[in-house]
């Protein structure tokens, strides 16, 4: 990826507007590493080593409860930065990160990134904006887990996927979920059995057809109504 490091950095919100000279100075501070699917970048509680930017692939950010249940906080893709906050507050990593698929990730050490921000104040301001956006997303996750049922969260995910889909058939909107039911459960804050049970109910009720990870949404308007209905 050596030829593409600058291209990836310019995709990141933190570095998009750097001059050529500034980018060259940053580039000298960057290293890259390939991670295989499932490989851990860092675990919750580890001392912060630095900041990461996804070059290619996908990185899953998650927390694990005492009972071993995962809650996915985000899935970061090319151009996304993560672990900004502990670089500045001196704390440990507040969550874990692992490769969702084979990925190449850029790394900037904590000291190098702090030094760079001292030299380029606008980058520090962008960190605040990125962290603020992430905080809003986490508040949304908390609201979903606190105030909605597993059924509503699953329907919401299917509705968003259907609205983004460009594939229409005579039977409805085609959606391909590139996730296992275990991955869906982690994202929705539940267990695989409840995902399977709720998918089955939606099929029985006539809203969906399911064939593996391929879903036909037969009644999108009905799903939207169900999403807003208390169980």
Of the listed ranges 33-42, 54-63, 177-186, 217-226, the least confidently predicted one is 177-186
Answer yes or no: do 73 and 154 share one domain: no
Q: How confident is the model at residue 177 (pLDDT cuts 50, 70, 90)?
A: confident
pLDDT, tens digit (0-9, with 9 covering 90-100), for 70-79: 888 888 999 9
pTM equals 0.72
Q: What is the spatial distance between Cα 38 and Cα 183, in angstroms, rounded to a whole number? A: 12
Considering only residues 57 and 119, tell me which one the structure prediction assigns the higher pLDDT: 57
Identify the DSSP state of 46: P
Answer yes or no: do 139 and 159 share one domain: no
When mean pLDDT is compared over 38-47, 172-181, 206-215, 218-227, the highest value belongs to 38-47
Q: What is the mean pLDDT of the chain?
A: 87
Q: How confident is the model at residue 231 (pLDDT cuts 50, 70, 90)?
A: low
Considering only residues 143 and 6, tell me which one the structure prediction assigns the higher pLDDT: 6
Q: How confident is the model at residue 2 (pLDDT cuts 50, 70, 90)?
A: very low
pLDDT, tens digit (0-9, with 9 covering 90-100), for 179-213: 788 888 888 888 888 889 999 999 899 999 888 88
Is a pLDDT exceeding 90 seen at residue 62?
yes
Q: What is the CATH number of the domain that holds 124?
A: 2.60.120.10
Answer yes or no: do 89 and 198 share one domain: no
Considering only residues 65 and 80, tell me which one the structure prediction assigns the higher pLDDT: 80
Is a pLDDT exceeding 70 seen at residue 230?
no
pLDDT, tens digit (0-9, with 9 covering 90-100), for 84-97: 889 888 889 999 99
- Residue where a domain stops, chosen among 146, 174, 202: 146
Q: Where are the beta strands (DSSP E) in the chain?
A: 30-35, 40-42, 50-56, 59-64, 70-76, 81-82, 96-99, 103-109, 168-169, 172-176, 208-211, 214-217
- Residue where a domain stops, chosen among 98, 127, 146: 146
Q: Which residue range is the domain that position 222 belongs to?
A: 149-228
Answer yes or no: do 35 and 132 share one domain: yes
Answer yes or no: do 51 and 77 share one domain: yes
- Residue where a domain stops, chosen among 129, 146, 163: 146
Q: What is the spatial distance between Cα 136 and Cα 180, in angstroms, rounded to a whole number? A: 27
Chain centre distance of CA 143: 17
Answer yes or no: do 67 and 91 share one domain: yes
Answer yes or no: do 120 and 219 share one domain: no
Is a pLDDT exceeding 60 seen at residue 3?
no
| Three-state SS at 90 | coil
Question: Token digits for 17?
Answer: 């507007």
Looking at the chain, the whole-number percentage of residues with pLDDT higher than 70 is 98
């Amino acid at each position: 990826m050596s030829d593409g490091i600058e291209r990836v950095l310019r995709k990141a919100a933190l570095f998009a507007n750097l001059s050529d000279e500034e980018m060259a100075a940053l580039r000298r501070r960057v290293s890259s590493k390939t991670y295989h699917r499932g490989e851990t970048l860092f675990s919750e509680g580890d001392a912060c080593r630095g900041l990461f930017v996804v070059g290619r692939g996908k990185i899953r950010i998650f927390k694990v409860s005492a009972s071993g249940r995962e809650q996915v906080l985000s899935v970061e893709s090319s151009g996304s930065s993560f672990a900004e906050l502990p670089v500045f507050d001196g704390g440990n990593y507040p969550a874990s990160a692992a490769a969702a698929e084979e990925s190449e990730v850029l790394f900037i050490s904590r000291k190098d990134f702090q030094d760079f921000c001292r030299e380029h104040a606008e980058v520090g301001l962008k960190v605040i904006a990125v962290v603020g956006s992430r905080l809003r997303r986490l508040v949304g996750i908390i609201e979903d887990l606190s105030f909605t049922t597993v059924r509503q969260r699953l329907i919401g995910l299917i509705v968003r996927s259907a609205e983004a889909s460009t594939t229409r058939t005579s039977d409805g909107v085609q959606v391909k979920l590139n996730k296992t039911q275990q991955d869906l459960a982690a994202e929705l804050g539940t267990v695989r059995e409840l995902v399977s049970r709720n998918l089955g109910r939606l099929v029985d009720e006539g809203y969906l057809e399911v064939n593996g990870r391929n879903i036909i949404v037969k009644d999108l308007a009905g799903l939207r109504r169900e999403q807003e209905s208390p169980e």
